Structure formats: structure tokens, C-alpha cells
Structure 1
Amino acid sequence: MITAEDFDVSAAWHVAAPYDFLRRLRHERPVFRSEHLGAHVLTRYEDVRAAYGDPRRFSSAGSLTISRSLADGTRRVLGEHGSFLSSFVANVDPPVHTRLRRSVSRAFTPRAVAALEQRFRDLNEEVLDRVASRGGGDLVAEIAHIPSIKLTARFIGVPEEDERFVQEHVKDWFQLFLSPQPPQRQLVLAESFLTYLDYVDRLVAARAAEPEDDFVSLMTALIGTELSHREVVELISTILLGGNDTVPNQLGNSVLRLLREGVWPVPPELVRNAVEECMRIDGASLGSFRHTTVDVELHGVTVPAGSLCLLSTDSAAHDETVFDEPERFVIDRGNADAHMTLGYGIHFCVGAALARLQLRTALEVLGRRLPGLRLDPDAPPPAYRTSIVGRGLTALPVRW
């Protein structure tokens, strides 16, 4: 019998290899309340997709943050910023969502995304020029994150000398709002977060005074007509998270999977589909939260109005009713891109095209430059950081 206590997303096994457990849940308890999360969990593909597509019953308002877990002392330090992300595009419903997404989408046109490909390719080449002669290293720290961090900084408008500062502080705010922390650690992270907000505020003010060809300038120009100052700050902050964290985490997960499956380097004609299969089987995003606005009946379970729900895209991506032999990596799987790692419906990631471009480009360059890439046989087994919403390796020792 599966109990709610078994669903502990903070446990190391749950991030690294939860799939046998999730399969049992899909069959026996597709909807249940997790006391650990304080939320109901939806595990079947059809239910997760339906919830994504039904904002009237499954609201995104306030769904990104877990600020309800912040200690009173942390709330006092944060003040008005305790509800950070309250106006971010993925954290609101229509019509506010429609307005915000329309504004952000101006920066992610197909032409704008395509224009970044050569720059990202060059950044990967530059990193490998520096490390190739070493014969090995940590792929996470020394290779996977650097090109994405630099490309995102250029896209946003962060000066090169500030890249390290932004990386460290983005990591802190992710931990503060999206990963449970003890009270003393929360206070440290809260101070870091306020320092980061001050930096973004000053960056917005600088571009308002002297616009440049970057995302900050594009969004700043909309303040007072389409966007508020706070909305611009939150947009910038969250896109920086994607580039500094989510995309490089997916690259690390993907390389680990490809090495374990013995399909390195990936044949060029299969790179595009390999990216999708890697996102399906080892997604960097584990799911999204929603709040029910009415009582919802699912599989004999009543989810009361006002309940927090986790839409488990991690489980959905391994649903055997959609993906044949879902635990098997199939590099040319025909429906690999049916995963919802990048969201679905109106909340499909606005930067999805850029994320996919980065993953494809990185695998192409790494495969060509490091065809002998392999896991370091002397290193301990790869470990994942603890998170309720994401999967990312703490390190990946490799040789080539």
C-alpha cells in the first residue's frame, strides 16, 4: 500500500530515481494528498495536461513560490518582497498573464532566437578551448553552466563583470523561494536576495536612462504603458534563473543520460530528438504548482477548492499510456516531444525555443570536440541537489 508519507520530494532518491514509485502511484493513487508538500499531487499524463489547460479550475496565481514556508523572521526581513514572483508571467492567470506574455514574447521572436545561435556556439567553443587539454574535469561547474550564463547575461543586458555576482545571487533566491530551508539559512538567503533585487533595480534604472540593445531596455521601455516596474524586475530575475540554472541543469542531466546509454557522441541527425528524449526521461523541471478555485473530483478523490496541487510533469513524462516503455531511453522516439517539461498550454515556457537551441548546440559542439567523453570511473556516483521543483546534478566528473 502506497502511503502519502512515501512522497517526499526532498529525499535524494526521489530526485534521482523516483520512477518505479511514480508508476505505482499512477496505477494505485493517481491523485492523493501529500502531507510533506501540503498539496494534492496529480501523477497521470491526461490529468496533468488537463490541469495545465484549465486555469479557471487550476489557478496559477501564487503558484510558483513556497513563501508560505518562510519563517516569521525571514518574512520580516523580506517585507514587501516576501511575495516575490507574485506578478511573474508563470505565476498569474489571464487576463494579466495574457498582457505579460505578449510583452515578453517580443524578445523571443524566431529571428531573435536564431540570431543567438552562433554566439552560443562560440561560447561553447571558447570554454572547450580552455579545458580540452586537461583531459577531464567537472562538466557541471567547468563546462555546462558557463556558456548558458554568458549567453543569458548578454541577452538580458548584464555586464560581463557582473556575471558571477548574478549567478551566485540567483542561486540563493532559488533556494529561498523554491526549496525548503531551515530558518537560519533563510535569513542568509533573504539578505542575498535583497542585494540581488537592488542590483536588478539599478540595472533597470540605468537602461531607462540610457537604453541599449538588450532585454532590459526592451522591457523598461514598456514601463508605464504595458508593464509595471516590479513586473520588469521579476521578468528579468526569472529569465536569469532559466539561463543560470534550468538550461544548464538539463544539459548536465542529458550528458549523463547519453553517456550511461552509450550513445556518445550523438549522431548529428539525432541531436534534435535526443534533446527531447533527454528532457522527457530526465527533465530539469519536475512539475508546477496550482491552486484549485473549486472542488475538483478526480478518480474518486475530492480536491477541495483552495487546495495547492502539484502537477507532476516528471510522472507524466513516464506515463506508459502515452510513452511505450517509458523507462527505456529511445533516442529516436517518435513522440518524445510530447513531454511537458517546458510546460503546456498558455504556460508553455516563453523561452522554450531558446532553451532547445542551447541544448542542441551544446550537444553538437561537445560531441565534436570531446568525442571520447566518458564518466570518471574513480568518481562517486552522481548526486542531485535537493529541490521540490527541479532536477540538477551537483557535479559530474568526466574524462575525455
Structure 2
Amino acid sequence: MASSPTIAPRPTVEDGGHALFSWLRTMRDEHPVHEDEFGVFHVFRHADVLAVTSDPAVFSSELHRLRPDSEALTEEILSVIDPPLHRRLRRLVSQAFTPRTVADLEPRVAEVAAELLDGVDGDTFDLVADFAYPLPVIVIAELLGVPAEDRELFRSWSDRMLSMQIEDPSDLQFGDDAGDDYDTLVKEPMKAMHAYLLEHVEERRRRPGQDLISRLVAAEIDGEKLTDSQVVEFGGLLLMAGHVSTSMMLGNTVLCLEENPGVWDALRADRTLIPAVVDEVMRLRPPITMMARVTTQDTEVAGVPVPAGRMVVPSIVSANHDERVFEEPERFDPARGAGNQQTAFGHGIHYCLGAPLARLEGRIALEALLDRFTEVRITPGARLRYHRDGLFGVRNLPLTVRRG
């Protein structure tokens, strides 16, 4: 089906997202459910995004339904399975990755943040390279029990996978017919990461430790335990998605504060405001901008018929900017209390298990910057490079700072 000629192409976020926000407003008002030229249905309004993500029986997370012969997306990956398997697997993972586990990380996160800022010489540095990238990688690597010194290896895997551009999201090529780009940018680093993590899983089965991999290996409910592959997949998901999204969140936080300099002063006066700032950053500029589902039967969204076997893409960033829920959605306002309504951490059964860790890292990172610098500004004239479509964040963020 050809795309309507009245719909302008989706803008990038290279202006900080402002052109995209305007385009999304038009889509919410005029095309709240839109079938693109590839037959993919995009969902833009907050209520409809919640409806899709609340009904896994009709809107499945099992993307392999699009390519039943593919082995790339399997029952081992928590983010792309449905109940009842999802429920069992999440219970097992949650037994090891508990709120207490995250809370206990606070002293170490603060220590790592301070050490990284200790390494900043002079009055300029790159937030992403020197702070926002290494902070979550070190924390998650130590949590899992893998060497934090391997973070450049992790970065090489994530950079290759994040550079993959898929022109038609419904035409995913996962199997033996995958193209060279997919092999090079996704399959090879994914295979290397899995082999790396599997070595650590096998080692913990022989000699358990105090790390998360050991706890995942030991987790048991009603005689059921996680397989090696399931532990590997969760470890990989936490390592890759955890550090990428947190890194982008920290960059987006500084972008938001740059545009609203009075917030820095408010935070210096009252640090209890920091959690609300983090949530508002996630609402305004969510690092992951969309989700993906596959219809299991003929259905409809907001009155628009959607056939079975089609990809449905709920827009996280559009839902977070829906003026039907958020007054003046493009305005950065931590006082709006959007934490319970914004969808940056997902919704329903797939609500992000790592959300408490991301919020903890975001809070401590801001506290560390406030402790160390009396002023933080984006270096004038700096050229920012953004991640590809589907992600909302900068790859670099040169800062000029002033110390007390």
C-alpha cells in the first residue's frame, strides 16, 4: 500500500528532536494509526499505544512470527516472547535481579561516577566518551561478573549493531538469506557476545560467585531453572540495552538542561528534584523511540483494521508527547509528574526490568556532575552526532565546565 502523498517524511532528531515533535503532532491529529508503504502500522496516540502494549494475545512480541523459519529470535529472549513462557522466564530472572540488588549498587555507582570525573583534566571533556558511556558499562559488567576492562569490546559490539539500518522493518532477514550487512553488523557481534557470556555462565556453574550471572544460574522456581542460553540472552540484553539506553539518557539530560538552564540552579538548591528531572527527560527524549508487535489475528486499532501477521509499531516518543495526556508536551517540566504516564520504559508485561537501575544511574550521575562542577555547558559550536532512527540520543557531547 502506497504511503499517502499528504504525509511528509519522518524527520530525524538531529535538531534535538523539535522537527520530529511537530511531525508527530500532525500524525496524532490526522493519522493516529498509519499504514506505511511497507504495510507496517504505526500507532501514535498515548491511549492506543497503551492498548496495543497491554494485549499480548493479539499484539504479540514474538517477532519471529514474521519469519517462522528464522532461529535468530527465539524463546530464549525475554523481550520477544509472550505468556505463558514470558511469565515463567521473567519470574526466574526477577528472583536474581531484584530491587535490593539494584539498591545495593548505589555506593558503587557513586564511586565509579566520581572516579570517571576524577579523570577529567581541564575544563572540557566529552560527556558520552568520558562519562555517560563508561559509567553504565562498568556498573553492569561488575554486576554481571564480567571484566569491566572489556568495555571497548562491548562497545564494538553495540556500535556495529546500532549502525544497522532497516529500510523496511517488516522485511527482517534473520536466517540464512540475511544480507552481508546484517551478517557483519548484527549476526557476527551477537554471536561473539553470546560466546563471551557463555564462557562466564559455564564458569559460574562450576564455581558460583556473588555476581548476577551466578544468581541467574542458581535461580529456581518449582524445580524450573534458567538454561544457559536464557542466562546468556538476559545478560546480553542487560549489557547492551542497559548501557546504550542509560548513556543516551544521560546525554539527553544535559541537552534538556542546556535548553532550560534554570533547572541546573533548581537542582543545586534541592537535589530531591533529580528523580523528577530524570523522568521528564525520559518522557521528552526517550532513548528508545518505538516498540514492535505482530498481530496474531485480524483486529483494529482506533477503528483502523489491521490484518493478522502485520507488524505494528507503537511510537513511544509520540505517546510521550500526546497533548491529550501531557499539557504543552514539548515543554520541559519536571513538576508535571509524568513518571506514571510516560512510556519510555515500556508498558504492560514488558515493562523494563532495568528501569530502577537506569533511574539510579541517572540520579547519581547528575549528583556527581553537581558535586564536581559549578557550571556545565555544551561547548559552543560543537557538532553533535545522533544515533540512527529508532534511537534518540547523541553519540558525542562536548562540554565546557567550570569548577567551584
Other structure's SS at 1:152 match: helix
For residues 20-54 of structure 1, the C-alpha deviation after alignment (integer angstroms, 9 at most, x for no partner) is 11111111110011225x41011000000111111
Select 2:323's aligned residue among 320, 323, 326: 320
> 1:190-339 alignment to 2 at 5 Å?
190-222=187-219, 225-262=224-261, 263-264=263-264, 266=267, 267-339=270-342
Q: Distance in 2 between matches of 1:2 and 1:242?
A: 34
Q: Distance in 2 between matches of 1:87 and 1:14?
A: 36
Shift of 1:242: 2.6
Which 5+ residue runs of structure 1 have no aligned equivalent? Answer: 69-78
For residue 20 of structure 1, what is the amino acid of its counterpart? S
Cα distance change of structure 1 residues 61 and 257 upon mapping to structure 2, 3 Å threshold: same
The more displaced of 145-154 and 5-14 is: 5-14
After superposition, the CA RMSD in angstroms is 2.8
Match of 2:182 in 1: 186
Match of 1:145 in 2: 133
Q: Distance in 2 between matches of 1:259 and 1:140?
A: 15
For residues 256-277 of structure 1, the C-alpha deviation after alignment (integer angstroms, 9 at most, x for no partner) is 1111211225341211110111
Q: Distance in 2 between matches of 1:229 and 1:177?
A: 30
Q: Distance in 2 between matches of 1:99 and 1:118?
A: 32
For residue 291 of structure 1, what is the amino acid of its counterpart? V
Match of 2:98 in 1: 109
Larger relative helix fraction: 1
Match of 1:43 in 2: 44
Match of 1:73 in 2: none
Shift of 1:16: 6.6
Other structure's SS at 2:336 match: coil
For residue 196 of structure 2, what is the amino acid of its counterpart? Y
Shift of 1:159: 1.6
The more displaced of 107-116 and 281-290 is: 107-116
Structure 1 residue 93 corresponds to structure 2 residue 82: yes
Percent of aligned positions with the same letter in both sequences? 35
Other structure's SS at 1:254 match: helix
| Aligned 8 A contact 2:32 2:44 in 1 | yes
Match of 2:346 in 1: 343
Shift of 1:302: 0.8
Shift of 1:4: 8.0
Other structure's SS at 1:288 match: coil
Shift of 1:7: 4.8
Q: Distance in 1 between matches of 2:218 and 2:386?
A: 40
Which 5+ residue runs of structure 2 have no aligned equivalent? Answer: none
Q: Distance in 2 between matches of 1:203 and 1:4?
A: 53
| Aligned 8 A contact 2:48 2:302 in 1 | no
| Aligned 8 A contact 1:31 1:41 in 2 | yes
Shift of 1:137: 1.5
For residue 273 of structure 2, what is the amino acid of its counterpart? L
| Aligned 8 A contact 1:374 1:399 in 2 | yes
| Aligned 8 A contact 1:137 1:398 in 2 | yes
| Aligned 8 A contact 2:154 2:240 in 1 | no
Match of 1:74 in 2: none
For residues 306-350 of structure 1, the C-alpha deviation after alignment (integer angstroms, 9 at most, x for no partner) is 110001111000000100100111121133441010011111111
For residue 59 of structure 2, what is the amino acid of its counterpart? F
For residues 33-90 of structure 1, the C-alpha deviation after alignment (integer angstroms, 9 at most, x for no partner) is 1225x41011000000111111111111127x9989xxxxxxxxxx97x514652112
Q: Distance in 2 between matches of 1:53 and 1:134?
A: 50
Q: Distance in 2 between matches of 1:348 and 1:4?
A: 35
Match of 1:376 in 2: 379
Match of 1:169 in 2: 157
Match of 1:72 in 2: none
